[in-house]
Structure 1
Amino acid sequence: MFRLIHSARTLRTARLPTLARATPLSAAWRAPTRPLPIYPRRGFASSHQSHSESNASSGMYALAIFVSMLGVSYAAVPLYRIFCASTGYSGTPVTDSTRFAAERLVPDGESRRIRITFESNTSDSLQWSFKPELREVRVVPGETALTFYRAKNHAKEDIVGIATYNVTPYRAGQYFNKIQCFCFEEQMLRAGEEVDMPVFFFIDPDFNDDPYMKEVNTITLSYTLFNAKYAKNIVPGQRP
């Protein structure tokens, strides 16, 4: 019995060095010679960053569209005015100075006379009286004519007015050339002040060559006067 116990102890003791030599404790827990690399969780961070960049790009794109549309909306009115004044579109008299060449300002003595009538309207927001001093004139194409509109401020305060205009029939607007007028220019009248505003115009000689004008014997020039404070972005022929 004693021998068996002794043999078992001897065998267990003999195996310990073998295990120690196989896996030394110092080697198993030895510190690494260089730092271990750190691998961040790039999947979530990259996705979040891409989403943020996408939102930022979309926001800048939307802002650019908004600014562009805002600029277009402000530019549309003056561009429309220039277009109408150059082409006579929508019954707008032509104010393009290139149409005022000396050879076009020669009365056609053989042409029929055209009756030009004048009308006036005033916005309810404007305490002015406004009317033409002449109801009509008769001219031949190429002949210049001068007339006046009279305006008076009946309010107890200074007021700035602005006028729009058109011509009927609308197609005749391209032949109604205005050399001087008060349209789209702010006119300030002091309380009780009265002024005469000139309109200097002529009918283009090409009027006679247009077959649609053969039966037109009367052309009407109409002005509408507004309070400039409430008449932003008014275009030719537009009456709010």
Structure 2
Amino acid sequence: MLASRSIFSTLRPTLRPYSIGSPRILTRPSQLSHPRRPFSSSSSSSTNTSNSNASAGMYTAAVFITMLGISYAAVPLYRLFCASTGYSGTVQTDKSKFSADRLVPTATPRRIRITFESNTSDALPWTFKPELRDIYVVPGETALTFYKAKSQAKDDVVGIATYNVTPYRAGNYFNKIQCFCFEEQRLAPGEDVDMPVFFFIDPDFLDDPYMKDVSTITLGYTLFNAKHAPHLAPVTPSTGQ
């Protein structure tokens, strides 16, 4: 018994009394092993996000500029394609179709009404209209008509015209021997000019089942101010086509 007390007396000083009024505050292990980082970490994340946004913006701008350049470069190629195929109602200009055997009126009672329309851009102070509203032709028959333009401007102005045919599917058979489309025309104040259109309908028109219900073809021109339509400027020097 004395030995037990002696051992207890020896250990007693090392024991701490339990205090109810002073509870221990436990810290979560996650807080001990991973202390909270300073605010600079969120700032770094924000910087990375800004860099990513800037890169995305530069990429988008580069794509836009590239596509814009391609679209302008494609205009002359598209125009040549349309002129050679009649796509989207563009008049044919392929001279291989102008052989003598095709320039003979066909012996058919089916006559096609050709109507003419004109439009002028608001940026071009000209009057512009066809001298004839319509004519009737048979396939293979050549026809000549004129459009008249007159300048109402106070200075010299250069105009340029685009054209199309409706219905679109008939454009493949509308052959233009001579016209003023895509040619620059300069008019002085008050000056006027007659611009010719010499054309014929290809005889193959009669053999196409898609043309059976086509009795009227409309040729339309729109005049623009060449200053505001640089992409319409002639690709090669004018040859009267």
Partner of 1:204: 202
SS in 1 for 2:231: coil
> How far apart in 1 are the matches of 2:189 and 2:232?
25
Tell me, yes or no, if the aligned pair for 1:94 and 1:177 is still in contact at 8 Å.
yes
Of residues 109-118 and 202-211 in structure 1, the stretch that sits farther from structure 2 once superposed is 109-118
Find the counterpart in structure 1 of residue 180 from structure 2. 182
Equivalent residue number for residue 113 of structure 1: 111
Distance 2:69 2:99 in 1: 35
Partner of 1:24: none
Unpaired runs of at least 5, structure 2: 1-62, 234-241
Q: What's the counterpart of residue 164 of structure 1?
A: 162
Distance in 2 of aligned mates of 1:141 and 1:71? 41
Q: Structure 1, residues 33-72: CA drift from partner, whole Å, max 9, x if none? A: xxxxxxxxxxxxxxxxxxxxxxxxxxxxxxxx99987874
- TM-score normalised by the chain length of structure 1: 0.68
- 1:110-159 per-position Cα deviation (integer Å, ceiling 9, x unaligned): 24100000000001111000000000010000000000000000111000
Specify the structure having the higher radius of gyration (Cα). 1
The one-letter amino acid of 2:167's match is P
Aligned Cα root-mean-square deviation (Å): 2.1
Q: How far 1:231 sits from its partner (Å)?
A: 1.3
Question: What corresponds to 2:143 in structure 1?
Answer: 145
Query: How many residues end up aligned between the 2 structures?
Result: 172
Structure 1 counterpart of 2:149, which letter?
A: A
1:31 maps to what in 2? Answer: none
Distance 1:98 1:229, change over 3 A: same
2:142–2:199 Cα contact (<8 Å) kept: yes
1:209 and 1:78 map into 2 onto residues whose CA distance is: 32
Q: CA deviation at 1:207?
A: 0.3
Tell me how far apart the structure 1 counterparts of residues 220 and 68 of structure 2 sit (CA, whole Å). 32
TM-score between both structures, scaled by the size of structure 2: 0.67
Return the alpha-carbon distance in structure 2 between the equivalents of residues 67 and 101 of structure 1. 44
> CA distance change for structure 1 residues 66 and 135 in 2, over 3 Å: closer, same or farther?
closer
Match of residue 7 from structure 2: none
SS in 2 for 1:200: strand
> 134, 137, 140: which is aligned to 1:136?
134
* Counterparts of residues 197-236 of structure 1 (less than 5 Å): 197-234=195-232
CA distance in 1 between counterparts of 2:148 and 2:227 reads: 21
Structure 2 equivalent of residue 32 of structure 1: none
